[in-house]
Amino acid sequence: MANAMLHQTVGTLQLHGSSGIHCQDGNNSVRLVPKGFKVEVGFCKRGICSSGEKKFSVIQASASQTSVFDPVLSPSNNGTHESLKKSNEAALILIRHGESLWNEKNLFTGCVDVPLTKKGVEEAIEAGKRISNIPVDMIFTSALIRAQMTAMLAMTQHRRKKVPIIMHNENEQARVWSQIHSEDTIKQSIPVIAAWQLNERMYGELQGLNKQETADRFGKEKVHEWRRSYDIPPPNGESLEMCAERAVAYFKDEIEPQLLSGKNVMIAAHGNSLRSIIMYLDKLTSQEVISLELSTGIPMLYIFKEGKFIRRGSPIAPTEAGVYAYTRKLAQYRQKLDEMLH
């Protein structure tokens, strides 16, 4: 599984009414099967920590079809796409990756691609248990393996038992070899999109250095300034402000349209990229965001409705009743899961 997750995901996804997957070079498109659905993604390569930038259009479902991403919930047969935009409610789950090998060694990690520790694996699995009754239609991760491992391990605990599949579009062979030729299999899959824009902020010349030794060398105040200020970057690295520019832009351009169309989204990423997104969701100031701390492996739940994000906290356990009482839709989803699985 680790080898598969080491591949960074870039590419294009198109869902049409025909059978099979169509992959195309040039504008980079991939076709999957389900009827009445279409997702179009194009990408152009960019710079820092970059494996590709993907452009998503809104997923649309024909009124007579049940969602390929989650047949437990389907749009009203009488609703138009515009009415769905106004009335649809979607869940947004944010998860900071579990402990990595460099977290354990107290090293600055940034965009260096290191995996999870055993504790990190356990944190990811526990996170999965906490969201096991919340619908997930699409998954976005950074291009780094610790975030991708967290997403994959979390989904092994989901009661829906759909399979998260990283969408590969590195070259023509990768596109052709990753085709799926079964409609039923596609319906039981969740697309996983990896994007460098969700990477941890790049720590420049601090990457790989021990945090305590760095504080001893440059002084605690200077290192604290590099780590916790909003607009002061470490040497040849990114400030939180710079990280927020790319992470929030990607969220607004690529993820928010999916939520607007009613898709339930999970994002597995990093402390600083998620702090940036939360700054946007909660309308925090630059002073408020620098004091925001995120625990590893603890999911945060938001409800997106009528263009607004409402924070609903973090589920304590898969049986935590309060989480599913927040909205009727989440309660209905869990009830249908109970009916399907028992």
200 is catalytic: yes
3-state SS, one letter per residue, for the chain: CHHHHHCCCCCCCEECCCCCCCEECCCCEEEECCCCEECCEEEECCCCCCCCEEEECCCEECCCCCCCCCCCCCCCCCCCHHHHHHHCEEEEEEEECCCEHHHHCCECCCCCCCCECHHHHHHHHHHHHHCCCCCCCEEEECCCHHHHHHHHHHHCCCCCCCEEEECCCCCHHHHHHCCCCCHHHHHCEEEEEECHHHCCCCCHHHCCCEHHHHHHHHCHHHHHHHHHCCCCCCCCCCCHHHHHHHHHHHHHHHHHHHHHCCCCEEEEECHHHHHHHHHHHCCCCHHHHCCCCCCCCCCEEEEEECCEEEECCCCCCCCCHHHHHCCHHHHHHHHHHHHHHC
- Which parts are annotated binding residues for substrate? 96-103, 109-110, 146, 200-203, 211, 227-228, 271-272
- How far does CA 322 lie from the centroid of its chain? 24
Degrees (nearest 5) of the Cα angle 98, 101, 105? 115
Pick the catalytic residue from 53, 97, 123, 270. Answer: 97
110-to-31, 237, 338 alpha-carbon distances in Å: 34, 9, 41
Measure the CA–CA gap between 205 and 109, rounded to whole angstroms: 11
Question: Position 83: which residue type?
Answer: S
Measure the CA–CA gap between 241 and 144, rounded to whole angstroms: 20
- Which parts are annotated binding residues? 96-103, 109-110, 146, 200-203, 211, 227-228, 271-272
Measure the CA–CA gap between 273 and 203, rounded to whole angstroms: 13
Pick the catalytic residue from 123, 158, 168, 200. Answer: 200
Which residues belong to the active site? 97, 200
